[in-house]
Chain A
Amino acid sequence: MAQSSKYVELFVAESREHLQQCNAQLLAWERDLEQDAPIAELFRNVHTLKGMAATLGYSRLANLAHAFEHVLGSVRDGGVAPSAELVEVSFRVVDRLEQGVALAAGGNDDAIQDRELADELVSFSKPATGTFPVPALRADKTPQPEAGGVVVRIAIAPGTPMAGARAALVLRRAESLGAVSAVSPPVDTWGSEAFTGDFACRIATAAQDDAIQAELSQVGDVASVTVIRGATPAATSSPATQVRVDLARLDRLVNLGGELSVMAHRLAADLARREDPALVAAGHALDVLVTDLQEQVLRVRMAPVGEVFERFPRAVRDLARHLEKRVRLEIEGADIEIDRAILEELPKILLHLLRNAVDHGIETPAARKKAGKGSEGRIRLSARRDRSTVIITVADDGRGIDEVAVRAQARELGWGADADAPDLLRILGRPGFSTRREVSDVSGRGVGFDAVLHRVRALGGSTELRAPAEGGTMIVLKLPISVAVVPALLLRVANDRFAVPLGFVAETARLAPEVDGGKVTYRGRELPLVLLGRREAGPVRPGVILEVGGRQGVLLVDTLLGQEDVVVRPVNAPRGVPRWVNGATILSDGLPALVLDPTALV
């Protein structure tokens, strides 16, 4: 909204009055903590101030006023006991609000120090959101239509402010059609912010479907009105309907889906060679259907990354405060879905990267100012889907990595070859590396960066370090959307075929035969040789450079066969399998191959 000076003047004048009254009420409250009157008045004054500030877009001022109002509301409602400490903090808050009004009116809302005081206030009460749980609209609780009446299901458009109040307006309209009963979920839960606005109720009306829909849709922001008649079975496919399924059963379903998909693919390929066009078409149709089925089955195991991301803003804030820094975490792509098994591993990995960003990347407010940046650092945590992978990026606008210092320390540690490797992760990801001599109590201890790289690899993913042109540091994680299907490199050694998860493959090359005491010289570096069974040194052969947690090894092979998404299944052999075998898979030609576990090889 345009900030005409008329409004700003009114705002300043009225705010001063309200804050003066606040001071008077605080003094009265301090004299007698058990009085109710000053609290009610304080609440009202602060509430009004908040409303004005929010309307003019003074978000920090509004934020502080909101925190204050919330605590006062809790005191009024008996949720928080009044105390001398709270009164003391309240005085400081009123002072800060007074300064804030002047700053905001001068166009400097950004300069208001709202956070710490707001945090102090929060420490007196419970957080403002999630007051009480709302029972979801469940199919089994949906009222059944009776003679002479209908059941309606109403959905409020997603994103509508105060969906519960919007739903209450619809309910009022429904009452104009006839007596309303069996409202689900009950109206007394609609005040919660968690209520989505979707509800069902019975209306005793003789009106036709379209008349009911027209009447109820007159309230704005109604997404849908579904009328259910007695003859129609209750629609059970409501979005809120959920079932709980044992994860082990799901896994079996995923495995079967995977094999079915491979078989269908093979069958389609076989049929494509037939003369009969009907068979060819049927084969393709089957292949498409099964691929679709496989995708749907995999989706059952998936959950949005937001489930994990949502814990981080608080963690980052706490950490930043601890280090006396100011950091804002921005989250993008919270709705991107990934396999639950991977999702469960994400917190450890991301927390480590975020800690690094706050501790090592983002500078102190003073240092940032010196560098001509805003005093508040930014970290962006984003997820996006790229074909069969999910790409998660952690980017900060901090000082970036000092490449010279990193390489210097690597040399000091005697890591000659790695010190000059183009990829800095060679150094940063090696166990024992730290540029911080004094170990901070935030990061630098516990899991190292090598552990992060290792975890990502173990999930079949890869890690990349980037130094964006605009400064700061960016870590890019590439993860498969599902653990059940892994992109793999296929290769042949003697008469056997193997699959190596691509996440462990650094590169492939044709290698000279200077096999010397189990070592191969490659690009001036001596790498340990990995042999499957007994192999003699021979002529130039293809080799796969495997990389596991910063360590590398060369696997000499006879033929590289290509790349394929494989479904990894455990192998149950009575005498066991070599420890470097991770499982088995059926390739698209219908024949089996062993899946290698590079972590056991390198």
Chain B
Amino acid sequence: MGHTVLVCDDAIFMRTMISDILAQAGYEVIGEAESGAQAVQRYKELKPDLVTMDIVMPDMSGIEAVREICKADPDARILMCSAMGQQALVVEAIQAGAKDFVVKPFQPSRVLEAVQRLLG
């Protein structure tokens, strides 16, 4: 365990919930970002093992952020967090380099399953 995670979402509510799910499973949340631009910047600073990425965020969308992060680090492990009905955007994010996705509203088990798949 002890893998590090960067949580990106524009809602504190979502960040808190995701952080809680991950922390309870023994992961270390080392940073948060509330916009796409901030996500890219923090990724470069922190070099986390995993990123959870919201799609709709102000100041650069999650998809743009995935593109930027993967440009700098093609092996970046990014988990998209998407709302229902955004399938087209999720497909776009995967083509941009995201490695997996979960659908809101979250079931903690589904989130952890995806995280384990990426870090396993």
Which A positions have Cβ atoms within 8 angstroms of B?
A: 1, 6-7, 10-11, 14, 41, 43-44, 47-48, 50-52, 54-57, 66, 128, 161-162, 164-165, 168-169, 172, 187, 190-193, 218-220
Contact = CB atoms under 8 A, between A and B. Distances in A.
B37 interface: no
Given A128-B85, A165-B101, A191-B92, 10 more contacts: A48-B14, A54-B105, A57-B105, A161-B84, A164-B87, A165-B87, A168-B91, A169-B99, A190-B91, A220-B114
Given A7-B16, A44-B56, A165-B94, A55 B105 contact: yes
B12 interface: yes
A10 B13 contact: yes
A169 B91 CA distance: 8
B101 to A, nearest CB: 6
Contact of B83 (A47, A56, A165, A192): A47
B52 interface: no
Nearest to A18: B11
A27 to B, nearest CB: 19
B30 interface: no
Given A128-B85, A162-B90, A48 B105 contact: no
Nearest to A2: B108
A56 B58 CA distance: 23
A11 B16 CA distance: 11
Contacts of B117: 218, 220
B95 interface: yes
Nearest to B56: A47
A10 B16 contact: yes
Contacts of B94: 165, 168-169, 172
Contacts of A190: 87-88, 91
B101 A50 contact: no
28 contacts: A6-B16, A7-B16, A14-B12, A44-B57, A47-B56, A48-B14, A50-B83, A51-B104, A51-B105, A52-B14, A54-B83, A54-B84, A128-B85, A161-B84, A162-B87, A164-B91, A165-B82, A168-B94, A168-B95, A169-B99, A169-B101, A172-B94, A187-B91, A187-B95, A190-B88, A191-B88, A192-B88, A218-B117
Nearest to B94: A168
Contact of A54 (B89, B95, B104, B107): B104
Contact of A48 (B56, B92, B99, B103): B56
Contacts of B107: 1
A165 to B, nearest CB: 4
A11 B12 CA distance: 9
Interface in B73-120: 82-85, 87-92, 94-95, 99-101, 103-108, 113-114, 117
Contacts of A218: 117
Contact of A1 (B11, B91, B106): B106
A187 B58 CA distance: 28
Contacts of B16: 6-7, 10
A455 B17 CA distance: 56
- Closest CB pairs A-B (n = 10): A191-B88, A165-B90, A55-B105, A168-B94, A10-B13, A54-B105, A161-B103, A168-B91, A162-B87, A47-B56
A54 B94 CA distance: 24
A439 to B, nearest CB: 43
A1 B104 contact: no
A52 B13 contact: yes
Contacts of A161: 84, 103
Which of A54, A55, A220 has the most CB atoms of chain B within a 10 A radius of its CB? A55
Contacts of B10: 44, 48
A206 B22 CA distance: 39
Given A10-B16, A48-B10, A55-B105, A192 B87 contact: yes
Nearest to A47: B56
B91 A191 contact: yes
Which of B11, B12, B17 has the most CB atoms of chain A within a 10 A radius of its CB? B11
